Amino acid sequence: MIAGGFGAGKTTLVGAVSEIPPLTTEEEMTVVSEGVDDVTGVERKTTTTVALDFGRITISEQIVLYLFGAPGQDRFWPLWNDLALGAAGAVVLVDTRKLEDGFASIDFFERRDIPFVVAVNVFDDAYHYEPEELREALTIPPEVPVVMCDARERERAKETLLTLVRRAIEKIPSTSDAS
């Protein structure tokens, strides 16, 4: 699952890494969303995801990731519960221009014990923070990877997904844990 706040770059990330043409549900933003969707920090945004984005990437012969990009607005949060069912893990995409939007996403996956990584989307007009500064600001546990990512760049986005795969594998209980 690819999650994060409104305008964090989720649709862009899915599109950058998907080996199939991604399914997107992007729609033009209209006056109906005025006063409902907070566009602070993303004022130039003209479209928004209204359901989900879907893509696929083959990591290896044994690992194929199905990517479900979640809409970022609060009003779509009930959909997150459905998207999280059976999720092997999540990328929480964070925009440093709207850092406070990261808290709810991080909390969502922590409460459900779903492995996740925090990917800081590097926007050209955003202040650059070091990963450890962001870990502290967002109170991210030490075992959760924090990576810098440019959602537009396929290789950087793939590295983020590989970090997530490694994190998810680490969280799989070993057979010795079951006894």
Q: SS3 string of 20-46?
A: CCCECCEEECCHHHCCCCCCCCCCCCC
pLDDT of residue 44: 65
pLDDT of residue 6: 86
Residue given tokens 């990517």 in the structure block: 67
What is the distance in angstroms between the CA of the first residue and the CA of the last residue of the chain?
A: 31
Interatomic CA distance for residues 169 and 99, integer angstroms: 28
Residue given tokens 């194929």 in the structure block: 64
pLDDT of residue 127: 84
Single pTM value for the model: 0.84
Q: Taking Cα atoms as reference points, which of 96, 123, 103 lies closest to residue 12?
A: 123
Residues 6 or more apart whose Cβ sits within 8 Å of residue 173: none
pLDDT of residue 123: 85
Residues 6 or more apart whose Cβ sits within 8 Å of residue 36: 73, 75
For the residues of 95-161, what is the DSSP string, one character each? EGGGTTHHHHHHHHHHHTT--EEEEEE--TTSPP--HHHHHHHTT--TTS-EEEE-TT-HHHHHHHH
State how far Cα 24 lies from the chain centre: 15
Per-residue pLDDT of the chain (179 residues; tens, 9 = 90+): 999 988 899 999 999 999 999 887 766 655 655 655 565 666 665 556 666 899 999 999 999 999 999 988 777 788 889 999 989 999 999 999 888 989 999 999 999 999 999 999 988 888 888 999 999 999 999 999 999 999 999 999 999 999 999 999 998 876 555 54
Count of CB atoms situated within 10 Å of the CB of 20: 10
Q: Taking Cα atoms as reference points, which of 111, 110, 98 lies closest to residue 72?
A: 98
pLDDT of residue 113: 94
